[in-house]
Amino acid sequence: MYSENLTKGAINAPHRSLYHALGWTNEEIAKPLVGIVSSYNEIVPGHMNIDKIVEAVKMGVAMAGGMPIVFPAIAVCDGIAMGHVGMKYSLVTRDLIADSTEAMAIAHGFDALVMIPNCDKNVPGLLMAAARVNVPTIFVSGGPMLAGHVKGKKTSLSSMFEAVGSYNAGKLSDEELLEYECKTCPTCGSCSGMYTANSMNCLTEVLGMGLRGNGTIPAVYSARLELAKHAGMQVMELLKKNIRPRDIMTEKAFKNALTVDMALGCSTNSMLHLPAIANECGIKLNLDIANGISEKTPNLCHLAPAGRTYMEDLDEAGGVYAVMNELSKKNLIETDVMTCTGKTVGENIKGCVNKDPEVIRPIDNPYSTTGGIAVLRGNLAPDGGVVKRSAVLPEMLVHEGPAKVFDSEEEAQAAIDAGKIVAGDVVVIRYEGPKGGPGMREMLNPTSAIMGRGLGSSVALITDGRFSGATRGACVGHVSPEAANGGMIGIVKDGDIISIDIPANKLELKVDQAEIDRRMKEFVPKTKELSGYLKRYAAMVSSGAEGAIVNK
């Protein structure tokens, strides 16, 4: 055990004196040191219950013979950060979380780790740290929120943002908006649809780093505390067997993650996070393979915002393992991959039946024969753009229309609110990429305003920024190269015709090539005065097509 380099022998008496300063006994010092990374705070609804998860994990570790030691990780609530400068500080925390966890874990010589994330950037940030540190590690999340109920229908955060759009369009009264406000988010937990947090917690199960139910057991269920205790006990088994994150997160595991991503209809943010996590494992995850996987992977779930089912429904239907079992019926899952259970994927999912074919469609009766996410390419996005195909209305899978161009989210939002966006338009929001934003803000306010105004069946949106998992509609994000890096999205003008063909994976600017060449020759990307962490991040971050990896 690595901790013995700090706890054994006369040379380490100074270390032991500091452990005694913590109130540790000799018996505790002699045990394996297990770091418990707590993302608890009092501002993020998905993290307010993590203190209880931590206590359960500590009990599990102690019961199995380890010494549990808690240290923190930061967390930003994307919903609260949405629509203002705070969203520039969302994606960038992924790397802060990975860096600080790496520093704490290695500096203090932990033998094993239990990661307790929940919301959007904590999950990938801690998975990145797990790969770097590479000591036996297991994940247990805080769990998803229960759906809200308004006027007899289940709701989620996307319903709330769209309600604001309806209110601004005069379709909802003050009283109706207040009812949404008070009833949409009824419990602690990560927001109740298949948004980024829940997507990544489900994919943590698929990658083999979390026990069954990690992604789906609701935050308020006592079963979540039982799961946490089992995670604490299981990390000690991983330590005994010396099973490490890079033994689990293999190339086959990432292929499984992309496959289940397509079947679940996960957030487009997974196309940023999976390559970044893979990079830390020494694996290059080229998104060119995403469309190949999508072509043969049926979309089995339409959770909010794509449909009217929620995380609690997926849990009751059998959860992630049931989805994987359905996929395995057509040999779409690599079953020989090791997981944190100490067993293979095939052993884990055996007998995990689909209990509700309305929530998880059987493999022979999918929502579509292709997956929930598509990567588009063309002259406007030679390095790619990403769309959540499963959340696009059928009539918008192919769309062509005039561009309405904006150099920031705020400019676009003002135009939408003023009624300046009309049926047929393609809204273009640029200088919101990883470098240009910086921080690649989520465009949930504009996309929700479009839906709330009843324009979801006639207006598309493209951006070099990204989207919340709560976004639905013909919305193409991660357009690369971004405007700040000289990408063609930077030369689009009002009135230019843009063609979006999702089935054909195409995104094109319909402008004469000679005119494109002239514009590109004259194009000088806009710059922003930056300071602090964002200045450093903008200088170091890679393209969204590469996962917005820092220090690449």
**How many angstroms separate the CA atoms of 305 and 248, rounded?**
31
107-164 pLDDT, tens digit per residue, is 999 999 999 999 999 999 999 999 999 999 999 999 999 999 999 999 999 899 889 9
In this predicted model, what pLDDT tens digit does every residue of 44-77 receive, in sequence order? 999 999 999 999 999 999 999 999 999 999 999 9
Q: Which two tokens stand for residue 294?
A: 């999508």
Residue positions annotated with a catalytic role = 468
The answer to whether 37 touches 126, Cβ cutoff 8 Å, is yes
pLDDT tens digits, one per residue of 269-303: 999 999 999 999 999 998 778 999 999 999 999 99
What pLDDT score was predicted for residue 329? 97
Average pLDDT over residues 216-239: 98
Three-state SS for 150?
A: strand
* Mean per-residue pLDDT of the chain: 96
pLDDT digits (tens, 9 = 90+) for 502-517: 999 999 999 999 999 9
Answer whether residue 552 shows pLDDT above 80.
no
Q: Quick one: tokens of 216?
A: 């789906």
Q: What burial letters (b/e) apply to 368-384, b meaning 16+ CB within 10 Å?
A: bebbbbbbbbbebbebb
DSSP-based three-state secondary structure for 442: strand
CB 148 within 8 A of CB 156: yes
Question: What stretches of 242-310 show up as alpha helix (H) in DSSP?
Answer: 245-248, 251-264, 270-280, 288-296
- Is the pLDDT confidence value at 1 over 80? no
Question: What would the two tokens of residue 424 be?
Answer: 């047929």
Distances (CA, A) of 303 to 145, 260, 482: 14, 14, 30
Site of tokens 């006369």: 10
User: What pTM was computed for the model?
Assistant: 0.96
Residue by residue, DSSP assigns 81-133 as HTTSGGGGGTTTHHHHHHHHHHHHHHHTT-SEEEEE--STTHHHHHHHHHHHH
Sign of CA dihedral 511, 515, 521, 522: negative
Tell me what pLDDT residue 3 has: 87
Question: At a CB cut-off of 8 Å and minimum separation 6, what does 329 contact?
Answer: 363
Angle between helices 251-264 and 288-296 (to 10 degrees): 60
Q: What local confidence, expressed as pLDDT, does residue 5 receive?
A: 86
Q: Does residue 376 register a pLDDT over 80?
A: yes
pLDDT of residue 350: 97
Which phi and psi (to 5°) does residue 74 adopt? -75, 165
Cα–Cα dist 98/54, whole Å: 19
